[in-house]
Structure 1
Amino acid sequence: MKFRIQIILATLFAVALTQRLVAVQPGRYDWAEEIRTLSRPDQLPRYRTGCIVEEISSYDPTGGNDDGFSGRYSYIRKENGKLVLADLKGPGVINRIHTPTPTCDTISFYFDGETTPRISLPFEDLFSGKVFPFVEPVCGNEIGGFFCYLPIPYEKSCKIVFSGEKILFHQIQYRNLPGYDVKSFDTNNIPADVLDEVRHTWKTPAIPANARVAGSRTTLEPGKEIILYRSTRPGRILGFEIDGGTSFEGLNKDVILSVRWDNDKTEAIYAPLQDFFGYAYGKPAMSSVLVGSKDGVNYCYIPCPYDQKAEIKLIYKQRKGVKQEPLRISSKIYHSDKKRDIAAEGKFYATWNREINPPKGRYYPFADLKGKGHYVGNVHQAQGLVPGMTLFFEGDDSIRVDGVMRIHGTGSEDFYNGGWYAVMDRWDRDMSLPVHGALDYSLPMARTGGYRLCLSDKMSFENDFYFGIEHGPEKNEYPVDYTSVAYYYCDRAPSQHREPTEELRTVYLPDKHTFYPQLMDFNLARGLKVSLDDYVRTEVTEQSGKIRINLSEIPEGRYRIYLTYLEKSTGADFRLWQRQNPITEWKSSRGSGAVREKCPLGEMYLTPQTASLTIEIRKNGGAGTFDFECLCLEKEGNQADITR
């Protein structure tokens, strides 16, 4: 009897294994189909079983912050005086190359042991659009970063060699394709029309074609909920749009988007609406190809297959002691009756998280998932809790797939295909691109944010997936307020979700603000010449002159004023004004070279109409220069300091 049971169990196991292998049978790799994943969101739910995603980057393996600055960790070995950046074993495909520091030195790709490279071009032309097929929109640059999403397949191997003496930051993400019949990259076999498809799709968010539309107009009352869509038959959501005008904007994120599939015990999506659609600090900020806001409409065109039933609703959380107005909501749900292929497709989920001052020494978690699926992107708001430079955005991303660290990045903005925060025309403002972008950037508010969608570069997992990011350059010590939504597909719902409490639904407003020379917004009056380096260096060309600093980013209130300036032998006199009202008397900056750090200079009340500070400078005998560094404002009655 025992023997017969063993035979039966073995037979059942063999049948189950055979069914699984048939469902994921590797086949011929198709380059055109690979690149079409960038323009075919309908392919997003499909599993990629057995395809291991990894990354080679210039990160500092010691745990320090030398993620490319010295170039020490930016190559794996030297050959004939050149730097080998990667030596990949096939079959596989490179899905993404990123750097904030391309050069004119040659980068070469050697395939399958060949001694002549099939790709050889200046590193910067991998992103310039000058060399086919490395053209827009799959290759390009913005917000300080250069990116290449052109798939580069290889059959047996791919070695990447850099001819320069030094290379700085880079990330090379690739996917192993065991068992697949892969033909190595060949420019003669690249159909140009597939690049045109991507270009067309990425121009504007695409409303799903051939879909049924379920529309509604209703009013959402505080403390109530409304159902936007409900189905009790198999199918899929192809996209949805929710229009509330400007009513979703503001510092209170009290409207919750709640979505549930089938008989899942927990919601597939349970997140403040603002955060799911990529708002930043109360305002719309993301307009990606799949999810975001445009012209007042919040949209999501990420396909969501389900097995039996679906429900989409909005919940309006009540806030204590605050009058909340009813919201007029209109929506469109695009859907079809196409059933989910259970063996080949996952269901869509989104995990929301916010941590105010997370524990030191621990990564901030975007996602900690169990099951089989793939990660397709995230949105991330990053707020510093101490005034100053946005050093918290030095933190590296780290991804474990099925218990093994597969990806380790080189800095937060690098994960979002950007680079060089606080540098003019780099990562210095909000910028929304088709699959990545910067949500915001403000030095005085000590905040930023980013998003990235993973299409061809989606990250598959068989059992578990963890994605965390550092807060601070090293050891996760910088006090921050991080908010995120992670988008992914999986064969099961999350075991729980985080409840957006009233505190977690409220946008944090700092009460200390630092204005640095870089990115300082100022105007000059006649009589003053200005240059910038570590200081704002001014020289009076007539008897006196003025420099006005714009403070419009700062919330209304009464502030104490502090200035860091340099005393020197040629130091002029200066005084502060708010519009036509003097704040201080004349003060001399003449001295022996001392730095007057954070010198208190009075106070002012800021309103949207009076949000500026003017420094008037006059000659003091033959002395006519005034050099200042940081302007600091501290709100009266500020909160308790959060120290590092």
Structure 2
Amino acid sequence: MINKLIGLAVCLAIVAGNVQAQPVGLEFYYNLSSLAYIYPNAESYYLSSYDRSGGNDDGFRGTYSQLYIDDKGEHVIFEEDGPGCVYNLWFTGSGRNLHWGKLRFYFDNEKTPRIEYEAREFFSGLHRPFVYPLVTHSFISSGGFSCSMPIPFAGHLKITTEKAAGFYNTYYQLYKGIPLTSWTNKQDNSKLIDIFQSCGSDPKRTSENIRVARKIVPLAVASRGTMPEVELLSLSNGGTVQHIKINPLYRPDAYSLNHVYLRIFYDNQDEPGADVPIGPFFGSGLGQADVRSLFVGMSNSGAYYCYLPMPFKNGIRITIQNRSYESGGEFFCEVGYTNQFPAEQKDTAIGYFGAKYNNAWPITEPKDYILFDYKGAGAVVGQVMTVEPVKPDRKRWWEGDMRIYIDGQEKPRFHGTGHEDEYQGGWSTFWLTNPYSLPLFGQPKTKDLIDVFGQVNGSTTTYRFWPGKIHFKKSITISTEHGNHNDTPANYSSLVYYYYIPD
């Protein structure tokens, strides 16, 4: 009931045009301490070359590789009225080549593009301001050409390619009632480059004194009726957890990391806001891997981190619990927190951090695998997904499209073109054989790779974060096909990071 009332208040605020503005573009990254705020005026969208007929022609023939061809013969792949911001733009090509000529950005109905490059040069990372790690080519993100430099637009933005681009996707946001300045080449992104190059360190800016609780935690092997659980932190006041770090003092295998659970309880509630295995929580469902994202990470040396802020009004309790009947061990754990709950902002809610784990081992039904299905108001930050084939010859599970349904819409607002594309790689064999970890997306580990008639199959774990967050007022469902038309059984597991408005 409370969530419904909040949703009504949000709608009234938008109509009145008097709402708190979400930080946009570079400002989003420079204000990550405000990640828990849920804004009423931000809507997220995803545009791709998916086959509108329901088939698998997602870019092979170029049928859906543009919205239309304009009067200059340019292929329009994106066109929206502002205010808005493009946070990510992705293509795939052949090796390091993109065959479709120039990429052009037209702002605010201007006749001349403010951005114009040969596609290969745009993604080379050699031309300011489009430099690594804000842009990556296919030898870095394993088959994908990706731009993560935010590109805001005030009135209108049109993006074109000289020829049909094949596969592509764009993640962007539109806003209501906020002033924006369109991108210019004077935009200084040097601080964002520093943030992206400093993954492993806290990207948030906070002037508050961070208190740190450290302890060595022994976890015995679970036995019938007993699942050992140890408390990492317990507070009875308001505040914000700024980071969680865990370092196993033994060498855990994948099974162990999928059966040691992190549990977070808020405000003396009996049900946890997060109850998830630590492997996926820190970025890998296939055991220890080199994960170096902006918000979470781990390494084979054992240091795991999470910098997603976790506010609480009246108290918090964090524990880890061993549900493995086969292994146990010691963990060095650190929780950094401040005694300050975020300041209230007009017409803006403060969300509590949540993490939801799900699995289907295997999924065989001819329906989508569900990563996340939530009723209420909130915002999704990112996701981790792991796929393990049931047999070596059961391949092409990666052809399944991601779909995200927001606020009860029958048609998905996000519709992808396959797993490797959605996690910013490309071409399954090249993708699976070349793991990568970048600030906002990655495939940090694959295993059990086997060549099946010239095409590699094997297990993978992937992650992706959504700048600006995917806001929802009533509900959200994140799902994916397993194979084209859900025709390939596989073992799927997933974890979604989000903020929710507590009842």
For structure 2, the residue ranges without an aligned partner over 5 or more in a row are 222-226, 451-456
Choose the corresponding residue for 2:465, options 453, 461, 464.
453
What is the aligned counterpart of 2:490 among 477, 480, 492?
A: 480
| Residues 571-590 of structure 1: pairs in structure 2 closer than 5 A | none
1:76 alignment partner, one of 54, 67, 70: 67
TM norm structure 2:
0.86
Counterpart Cα distance in 2 of 1:468 and 1:16: 29
Which residue in the other structure is 1:336 paired with? 338
| Offset from partner CA, 1:394-450 (integer Å, 9 cap, x none) | 111111111232111111111111111212xx4413322222111323433721121
2 CA distance for matches of 1:300 and 1:196?
Answer: 20
Q: Structure 1 residues 116 and 284 mapped into 2: Cα distance closer, same or farther (>3 Å)?
A: closer
- Conserved 8 A contact 1:386-1:446: no
Provide the rounded CA distance (Å) in 1 between the counterparts of 2:394 and 2:434: 14
Deviation at 1:288, TM superposition (A): 1.8
1:291 Cα shift? Answer: 1.1
**Map 1:393-542 → 2, pairs under 5 A:** 393-404=398-409, 405-423=412-430, 426-442=431-447, 443-444=449-450, 446-456=458-468, 458-472=469-483, 474-492=484-502
CA distance in 2, matches of 1:401, 1:304: 24
Q: Which residue of 2 aligns with 1:238?
A: 242
Q: Cα offset for 1:29?
A: 8.3
CA distance in 1, matches of 2:386, 2:110: 45
Q: Distance in 2 between matches of 1:29 and 1:330?
A: 37
Give the whole-Å Cα distance in 2 for the aligned partners of 1:176 and 1:304: 26
TM-aligned CA deviation for residue 341 of structure 1: 4.1
Alpha-carbon deviation of 1:283? Answer: 3.0
Mapped to 2, the partners of 1:251 and 1:23 lie a distance apart of 52
1:109 alignment partner, one of 102, 105, 114: 105
In 1, Cα distance between equivalents of 2:264 and 2:459: 30
Alignment of 1:203-222 (within 5 A): 204-206=200-202, 210-222=209-221
Question: Which residue number corresponds to residue 389 of structure 2?
Answer: 384
The Cα shift of 1:200 comes to 4.6
Matched with 1:119 is: 115
Shift of 1:213: 0.4
Q: Which residue pairs with 2:18 in the alignment?
A: 25
> Which residue pairs with 2:142 in the alignment?
143
Partners of 1:225 and 1:118 lie apart in 2 by 57
Report deviation, 1:26: 4.2
Contact 1:39 1:197 in 2 (8 A): no
**Separation in 2, partners of 1:450, 1:172:** 19
Task: Assess if the C-alpha contact under 8 Å between 2:284 and 2:461 holds in 1.
Answer: no
In structure 2, which of residues 176, 183, 186 is the aligned counterpart of residue 185 of structure 1?
183
Q: Per-residue deviation at 1:66?
A: 1.0
Q: 1:82 to 1:279 in 2, by over 3 A?
A: closer
Q: Secondary structure at the match of 1:180?
A: coil
Amino acid at match of 1:380: M
Q: Matched residues in 2 for 1:389 and 1:359: separation?
A: 12
Partner AA of 1:148 in structure 2:
C
User: How far, CA to CA, are the matches of 2:228 and 2:375 in structure 1?
Assistant: 33
Alignment of 1:130-279 (within 5 A): 130-141=126-137, 142-164=141-163, 166-188=164-186, 190-202=187-199, 204-206=200-202, 210-222=209-221, 223-252=227-256, 253-279=258-284
Give 2:453's aligned residue: none
* 1-structure distance, mates of 2:179, 2:467: 22
DSSP-derived class of the 2:130 partner? coil
Distance 2:203 2:190 in 1: 21
Larger Rg: 1
Aligned equivalents of 2:465, 2:11: Cα separation in 1: 34
1:272 Cα deviation from its structure 2 partner: 1.8
How big is the alpha-carbon RMSD for the aligned residues of Structure 1 and Structure 2?
Answer: 2.7
Secondary structure at the aligned position of 2:26 is classed as helix
